[in-house]
Amino acid sequence: MRQTPKLTVDGIAIFEGKLVLIKRKNPPFRGRYALPGGWVEVGETVETAAMREFLEETGLGTRIKKLFGVYSDPSRDPRGHTASVVFELEIIGGKLQGGDDAAEAVLFELDAIPELAFDHGKIVSDWLAAKGF
């Protein structure tokens, strides 16, 4: 059987003027901050997966604003080759709270973002540059 990368999604959203991040509850990168995201389930679109994962991990409902990019460096995830479809999301409701595999959901000022898990530092840096920050 031919092997292919596993498909993931990540969401970038601003809430109350700050970037929404989660603190990872599980390995890899347990205890590090990351963008909300996760695996795309069989039969699910990447758009639906991005909104579902964001809700599960942060308690915040979203809608897709736009596709931001695709990140597929084979070394981006120590568990194996993944390709992540990254969306810019708009918050439409809910209450900020960690859930699912997020120990907590937190807000960070755009000029005070900590070191992030996976390649999320590059994703956020690219996004900030695209936004003119």
pLDDT for 33-50, tens place per residue?
Answer: 999 999 999 999 999 999
Average pLDDT over residues 7-26: 97
Residue 67 has pLDDT above 90, yes or no: yes
C-alpha pair distances (Å), 33 with each of 45, 102, 110, 118: 25, 9, 14, 10
pLDDT of residue 47: 98
Helix (H, G, I), strand (E, B) or coil at 83: strand
pLDDT for 95-133, tens place per residue?
Answer: 999 998 889 999 999 999 999 999 999 999 999 999 998
Length of the chain: 133
Q: How many CB atoms lie within 10 A of CB 34?
A: 20
Q: How many CB atoms lie within 10 A of CB 18?
A: 15
pLDDT of residue 53: 97
- Domain range for 110 is 6-131
Q: What is the pTM of this model?
A: 0.96
Ramachandran angles phi, psi of 46, nearest 5° = -65, -35
CA 22 from centroid of its chain's CA atoms: 8
| Residue 25 parent element (H or E) | none
d(CA 103, CA 106): 10
pLDDT for 1-13, tens place per residue?
Answer: 888 999 999 999 9
Strand partners, 66: 88
Indicate which CATH number applies to the domain containing 87: 3.90.79.10
- 104 catalytically annotated: yes
- Asked whether residue 22 is domain-assigned, the answer is yes
User: In whole angstroms, how large is the CA radius of gyration of the chain?
Assistant: 14
- Asked whether residue 88 is domain-assigned, the answer is yes
- Asked whether residue 34 is domain-assigned, the answer is yes
Q: Which of 41, 53, 104, 115 is catalytic?
A: 104
Number of domains, the chain: 1
- Asked whether residue 1 is domain-assigned, the answer is no
